[in-house]
Amino acid sequence: MTFTPCISAYGKLTGKLFVTLHEPKPLRSIRQMVASFTDLHVTHSHSGIMSSRLAEEWMEKCLLPSIPDRSVLLLDLWCGFNSMKLLRAVARKKLEGVTFPPRTTGQLRPLNMFFNRQLKCFFKTTPE
């Protein structure tokens, strides 16, 4: 399972939380369960990991509707982001994607420095 939150420069969660489930095909029961959650977008993949296609879906369904024009998006070097940059909606929003230099993601990406680190610590301390 992959969680992809949108977090502003102020550290505020914004837009919908994008969740990718490890499912070969969409489960109708899951869609029914999450239908009432307006700040959640649930999708699926065979691996549960983000793909280029899912990155585009995240951009169109979760990020772009929640940000103002002329925003800046901080990105690492994952090649899946390349197709997102080419979307017409990105050009309409005048969204600028800034890519971190190689081997600096762990030190520079705000989610790694704060949100993800806290979340990982929480899961490590939670009894199974």
- Mean pLDDT lowest among 18-22, 48-52, 94-98, 120-124: 120-124
Range of the domain at 63: 2-125
User: Token pair for residue 9?
Assistant: 């420069």
Average pLDDT, the chain: 83
DSSP E strands in the chain: the ranges are 2-7, 13-22, 40-45, 72-75, 96-99
Report d(CA 14, CA 5) in Å as an integer: 8
What was the pLDDT predicted at 48?
Answer: 83
What was the pLDDT predicted at 127?
Answer: 66
Whether the pLDDT of residue 33 is over 80: the answer is yes
What was the pLDDT predicted at 63?
Answer: 92
What was the pLDDT predicted at 28?
Answer: 76
Residue of 76, 70, 85 whose CA lies nearest to 116: 76
Quick one: DSSP state of residue 100? P
Mean pLDDT, rounded, for 104-114: 66
Count of domains observed in the chain: 1
Report d(CA 114, CA 108) in Å as an integer: 11
Confidence of residue 84 (pLDDT cuts 50, 70, 90): confident
Residue of 7, 5, 34 whose CA lies nearest to 17: 5
Element (H, E) at 11: none
Whether the pLDDT of residue 109 is over 80: the answer is no
pTM: 0.75
Whether the pLDDT of residue 128 is over 80: the answer is no
Please give the share of the chain, as a percent, with pLDDT higher than 70.
86
